[in-house]
Structure 1
Amino acid sequence: MSRIDGLPPLRDVIATHGLQARKSLGQNFLLDLNLTARIARIPGDLSGMDVLEVGPGPGGLTRGLLSEGARRVLAIEKDHRCMAPLAEIAEAYPDRLQVIEGDALEVDPLAHLTPPIAICANLPYNVGTELLVRWLTPKDWPPFWSSLTLMFQKEVAERIVAQPGSKTYGRLAILSQWRTDARISLTLPPGAFTPPPKVSSAVVHLTALPEPRYPADPKVLERVVARAFNQRRKMLRAALKGEAPDIEDRLLSAGIQPTDRAEQVSLEQFCALARVMEA
């Protein structure tokens, strides 16, 4: 599949345009077009969808998304060196690829996208978690996207799908699982990337739920969860003592033992506690 669209193999693209990955930009390029096409298929049928991609680099996943039938792709890329190869992809797929040179943390993609919208990206390691949290905590729900298909370091992916009682269970699991169905769809070894990172990577697929899994005020839930896990070794009666003078009674009202620690508390219990705190 090195020539899925008449364009050169990605190794040739990188050599032609001098696109050695930069650590400062969190870049690790996935060059196998079989793998990028496989990732592009994870969200399902894209023929009627616009797709937002962050950090396309030389365009491996971009080509996968377009060859798999995405209606349109909006690619946001910070590295000016990638503009030329991405322009070549745009020429091969007329009117289906728009590239914005800029920082994804600062660009509003909604001005350029038409619903339904999927997000699919091999996220730069240095901004991946921040972008995920932003997408999971919009002002209104349901969000503008229907699904997220995102590449992370494997350790981050495991935190997203973690269950109570595990060492990886924390704030990211609560935020992700409260409003989405989250699963790890694909794991990749360091050797799949150029240059190879020090750790394995994984693709997480998150499907937006019509409404949160359990009722809770988002700001109250985020505040309680953040405080509980910031001091995860402490019993909750100590970790949350600044929330209310009668915190032990409130914990019991939510079905939580004051001596429990944050990693023992389920998503449903945290939502119950958020409702008690709001009341």
Structure 2
Amino acid sequence: MTLQQNQLPSLKESITRYNLLAKKSLGQHFLLDPMINQQIIALAGDLTNKNVIEVGPGPGGLTRALLDSAAKKIIGVEVDQRALQLLHELQSFYPDRFQVVQHDALKLDLTTLCDAPRQIIANLPYNIGTSLLLGWLKQGLEWKRMTLMFQQEVAERICAAPNTEYYGRLSVIAQWVAECVIVKRIPPGAFSPPPKVYSAVINIIPKAEQPTPALFKAMEQVTAAAFGQRRKMLKGALKNIGGEQLLASANIDGTRRAETLTISEFDQLAHLHHNINAR
């Protein structure tokens, strides 16, 4: 480590200097415990020669753990003007490995920021985490892995199995294109300020075979209809998208409800819906 890096202020000193307090309106809960941040990085797998994008680095707790890893380059995407000064200070100590990008991640194609192989590692803002994930799932082949932190209930929804409380549209789409596993749960007290709920870290590893954009859209339409009125039987819920024909072709009983269908059965319905619309 160089003398310059030895002079890097502690995380607490940097937060105090820039008066960086988490904003509820931005869904911010800062994870400052260096041990937990290091554990998250370890759960992300071997980062050697990988480019890593971190969304919402805030004060840079997770960023510092990333800079201690074997990652080739770390790119922090931050929209909060208050955090940018702190992050630019951190960048000055690692000019060759850390880049700060001021942008709204919802409006940015992250794949344009660096070459493959690339990963996303992030403690996502609670208020936009699901929207961000759905966008990234459409780019499956672009990502080696995503290691993401959500509110625990959202994490449970992403990884839920059929016929369970949290199984829904997000479960189907995520597990259709990726392997999704909860790898760590984190208590509220680990954050500043503490949220009211536990958080959880998920490893999301895209599958080798990915749907075309048209097929992905078909799956979105099928799952939106199926779970939009989840207490309805499928023959009623899918009525507006030709449900009777879809269910008959897939040999699926129309009196079943959406939460009973497997990912494979939804895949069948999406393919049929796509093929009908392509005629």
> What does the per-residue CA deviation read over 1:128-181, in whole Å, with 9 as the maximum and x for residues that have no partner?
11000000124xx52x21111101000000000000001210111111111111
Deviation at 1:221, TM superposition (A): 1.5
1:103 corresponds to which residue?
A: 104
The equivalent of 1:68 in structure 2 is: 69
CA–CA distance in structure 1, aligned partners of residues 216 and 23 of structure 2:
37
Map 1:39-188; keep pairs closer than 5 Å: 39-138=40-139, 142=141, 144-188=142-186
Cα deviation, residue 252, structure 1: 3.5
CA offsets 1:94-138 (integer angstroms, 9 cap, x no match): 310110112111233333301100000001111111000000124
SS of 2:244's partner is helix
Q: Return the alpha-carbon distance in structure 1 between the equivalents of residues 157 and 32 of structure 2.
A: 26
Q: What does residue 268 of structure 1 align with?
A: 264
Q: Which amino acid aligns with 1:226?
A: A
Corresponding residue for residue 191 of structure 2: 193
Deviations 1:69-118 (A, max 9, x none): 21101101111111222122222223101101121112333333011000
Instruction: Give, in angstroms, the shift of residue 228 of structure 1.
Output: 0.3
Structure 2 regions of 5+ residues with no counterpart?
A: none
Give the CA deviation at 1:40.
1.2
- Indicate if the aligned counterparts of 2:79 and 2:102 stay in contact, CA closer than 8 A: yes
Q: CA deviation at 1:10?
A: 2.3
Q: Is 1:224 the equivalent of 2:225?
A: no
* CA distance in structure 2 between the partners assigned to 1:258 and 1:164 by the alignment: 17
Shift of 1:27: 0.7
Sequence identity of aligned pairs in percent? 47
User: Aligned equivalents of 1:217 and 1:103: distance in 2?
Assistant: 27
Unpaired runs of 5+ residues, structure 1, are: none
> Structure 1 runs of 4+ off > 4 angstroms?
none
Q: Report the structure, 1 or 2, having the larger helix content.
A: 2
8 Å contact kept, 1:235–1:258: yes
Structure 1 residues 199-278: aligned runs within 5 Å: 199-212=197-210, 217-244=215-242, 247-277=243-273, 278=275
Give TM-score scaled by structure 1 length: 0.91
Question: Is the contact between residue 255 and residue 269 of structure 1 (CA under 8 Å) also seen in structure 2?
Answer: no
Asked if the contact 2:51/2:71 (under 8 Å) is kept, the reply is yes
Amino acid at match of 2:40: I
CA RMSD of aligned residues (A): 1.6
Distance in 1 between residues matched to 2:57 and 2:132, nearest whole Å:
15
Residue 249 of structure 1 and its aligned partner are, at CA, apart by 4.7
**Residues matched between the structures, number:** 268
